Amino acid sequence: MDIFLQQIINGLTLGSVYAIVALGYTMVYGIVQLINFAHGEVVMVGAMVALWVITALAGSGTTLPPLVIVLIGTLCAIPACMAVGYAMERIAYRPLRNAPRLAPLITAIGISIILQHLAMLIWSRNPLAFPQIISNPVFHLGGATISGVQIAIISLSLLMMAALTLLVYRTKLGVAMRATSENPEIAGLMGIDVNRVISITFVIGAALAAVAGVMVGTYYGIAHYTMGALLGMKAFSAAVLGGIGNLAGAMLGGMLLGVVEALGTGYIGNLTDLCHVSWISSDLAERCAVDGHVILFGSNYQDVFAFVVLILVLVFRPSGLLGERVSDRA
């Protein structure tokens, strides 16, 4: 099996999800310079609602084809997440628009905690199996395999990115959004309803998050009330990697982070196998002879990559690959 190609495929799949979630962070940041820390929880809500609906429909003995059931689940998740996104902006963030930066960040932490524990109350504190009702054919590609779900995730993501790009660059709403992000005051003077534009931005981001939630749930086969936090952090890292506030950056950053994570996880064990240097000590050589490998950092360090990327980017290129400058000087 071709590990490299396989990890690239897996990486692009995950990367598509990161990119979709990262778009939510970056759009909101672009418009109100706020890191919506609770965005990951919206993804979780999306996954949970979809899981709920799909399980209910699948268990009801309906004759609907499985693909339609998943579609209905997604279509229920989207408005639910949009509502959450709207409420979040309206109730928690809008009143703080001119507050010191710390305030919205702490509010976001509060919202995260609330959403997580509400989800835990409604659904469960245990991981839930995401119903696998659609058949998932596996295709061979070179020395690797790609599943139907993976193809669906990647192509659907690309589709949504294209749609969002069209929305931002080809519609009146997009113009209003870009104007607001340039300068909200001037945009307001030009007759743009800035509050409405900000609300819509949150809502669009939340809709994307809902789809991402269904994708992750389907891909991993489980959903859990804490799934949003880590995913959110990774997507945020992706947005920073690409250059926060920049749409193309979020897409690029997401894909890149997915691939880095997949390749890293795939190779780190082999790269840090001390048996490559077993000559440094006879103890080590002995262990290698018995176990074959003495791995310093294994694939259980998977979640470290995103954070390391985040820290490296912020330290060495805070503007990200394509974005504005974020360090704090007058």
- 38: its two tokens: 């609770």
Which pair of tokens denotes residue 282? 């006879």
Restricted to residues 229-248, the positions that interact with other proteins (CB under 8 A) are 229, 233, 236-237, 240
Question: For residue 256, what are its two tokens?
Answer: 């890149």
Is residue 290 a contact residue for other proteins (CB under 8 A)? no
Q: What is the largest CA-CA distance in the chain?
A: 77
The answer to the question of residue 280 lying near other proteins (CB under 8 A) is: no
Regarding 110 and contact with other proteins (CB under 8 A), the answer is yes
Among 95, 137, 143, 148, binds other proteins (CB under 8 A): 95
294 binds other proteins (CB under 8 A): yes
Output the DSSP codes for 114-135: HHHHHHHHHS-SS-EEPP--S-
Rounded CA-CA distance 233/311 in Å is 12
User: Using CB under 8 A, which residues numbered 4 to 43 contact other proteins?
Assistant: 35
Nearest-angstrom CA–CA distance, 24 and 245: 10
Closest approach of Cβ 325 to other proteins, in Å? 10
Rounded Cα distance between 47 and 39, Å, is 13
Among residues 58, 71, 151, 274, the one that binds other proteins under rule CB under 8 A: 274
Asked if 294 contacts 287 with a C-beta cutoff of 8 angstroms, the reply is yes
Nearest residue (CB) to other proteins, 191 versus 328: 328
Q: What is the C-alpha end-to-end distance of the chain, expressed in Å?
A: 54
Q: Is 295 in the site for other proteins (CB under 8 A)?
A: yes
Asked if residues 26 and 239 have their Cβ atoms less than 8 Å apart, the reply is: yes
Site stretch for other proteins (CB under 8 A), options 157-165, 207-215, 256-264, 294-302: 294-302
- Footprint of other proteins (CB under 8 A): 35, 92, 95-96, 99-107, 109-114, 116-118, 120-121, 229, 233, 236-237, 240, 274, 287, 294-298, 300-301, 303-304, 306-308, 310-311, 314-315, 318, 326-330
